Amino acid sequence: MLGSFHDAEDAVQETLVRAWKGIARFEGRSSLRSWFYTVATRVCLDVVNSRKRRALPMDLGPASDHTVLDSAPLTDVDWLTPYPDAQPEDRTERRDTLELAFVAALQHLPGNQRAALLLFDVLDFSAAEIAEIMATSTTSVNSALARARRTIAAIEPTPGSTSTAYLVDDGAARVLAARFATALEEGDIDAFVSLLTADVTWAMPPLPHWYLGLDAVADFAYEVPMRRCPSWKYRILRANGGPAVAFYVGHEPDGPHDAWSITVLGLRDDHIATITSFLGPECFDIFGLPLTFP
């Protein structure tokens, strides 16, 4: 709903506070689950209405036609953030709804449409239940759902954004992520390229530039992380329904390595279709990771 781990954490706390203060007014005319979702939905709508929508570099402009070496972070953009993922056997929500492509597409919807779509398609509430949660009519809910689906369908998908990470076996996905990280660590451009789809994308928020296609992504990988970053260390994670890598960079293999990015991989079959590197130590805090490689 919010596209931000920190905003979601704050919204959970606010939901619990409002529920605690309002539980005496719960009359039992609906399930407690519906009542809690009513509180949570209204908290989230307050956040959506008070902030700019969360974005990825693809939302700001076209792909760069060359490797940019002096790209400066954009600090006036509310960026999408990664979401720490539970192990597959512990997951209760649909895995595909955690994917960055889905969350990013949701950010293009007004709050009421975003809420209606999530409540209906993800959480399996009926239109009548959603109408009660959102204090509106069933007709308005159905209209919001129809408009939301048209908007999502009309968003021109970024090439490479259709990911099927949730369909890839978790063990195979982790192996693919490890091969990706090892190729960067060892500066093996041929091994790196062999893992990618032809229409692969690489974005690095908060940097505005992003790259599209095998040649552009390979050129960036060779020119920047392979040639200009002396030493890499990494840990394999789960994020947004699929594999991810926590990268640390250092000046020499035996020296200290500092937090660089949480890189979320979108998979298509047995190749990598999207690479989204969330730069900065604050992303490591989300995953409870140290800021230096142990």
Instruction: State the CATH number of the domain containing residue 215.
Output: 3.10.450.50
In the prediction, which pLDDT does 49 show? Answer: 92
Question: 3-state SS of the chain: helix, strand, coil percent to 5?
Answer: 45, 20, 35
Residue 293 located in a structural domain: no
Residue 291 located in a structural domain: no
Residue burial 252-289, b: 16+ Cβ < 10 Å; e: rest: eeeeebebbbbbbbbbbeeebbbbbbbbeeebbebbeb
In the prediction, which pLDDT does 224 show? Answer: 95
Residue 123 located in a structural domain: yes
CATH of the domain at 16: 1.20.140
Q: Of 126, 154, 182, which residue is a domain's last?
A: 154
Q: Of 154, 174, 199, which residue is a domain's last?
A: 154
173 and 258 belong to one structural domain: yes
Backbone phi and psi for residue 80, each to the nearest 5 degrees, phi listed first:
-60, 150
70 and 208 belong to one structural domain: no
182 and 142 belong to one structural domain: no
57 and 189 belong to one structural domain: no
178 and 138 belong to one structural domain: no
Q: What is the domain count for the chain?
A: 2
Residue 241 located in a structural domain: yes
148 and 172 belong to one structural domain: no
In the prediction, which pLDDT does 96 show? Answer: 63
For the entire predicted model, the pTM comes to 0.89
25 and 118 belong to one structural domain: yes
122 and 176 belong to one structural domain: no
In the prediction, which pLDDT does 28 show? Answer: 78
Q: Which class for 215: exposed (0-12), middle (13-18), buried (19 or more C-beta within 10 A)?
A: exposed
15 and 138 belong to one structural domain: yes
Residue 27 located in a structural domain: yes
118 and 189 belong to one structural domain: no
In eight-state DSSP terms, residue 226 is I
Residue 79 located in a structural domain: no
Compute mean pLDDT per 10 residues along the chain, 294 residues long, and list them: 95 96 84 91 95 93 93 94 73 64 91 95 93 95 95 68 59 94 96 97 97 97 94 94 94 94 93 96 94 89
In the prediction, which pLDDT does 163 show? Answer: 55
Q: Of 101, 133, 154, which residue is a domain's last?
A: 154
Residue 186 located in a structural domain: yes
Domain enclosing residue 26, as ranges: 5-74+93-154
Residue 276's contacts (CB-CB under 8 Å, 6 or more residues apart) are 56, 82, 100, 202, 203, 204, 205, 263, 264, 266
177 and 241 belong to one structural domain: yes
Direct distance between the N- and C-terminal alpha carbons of the chain, in angstroms, rounded to an integer: 34
In eight-state DSSP terms, residue 135 is T
Residue 37 located in a structural domain: yes
10 and 99 belong to one structural domain: yes
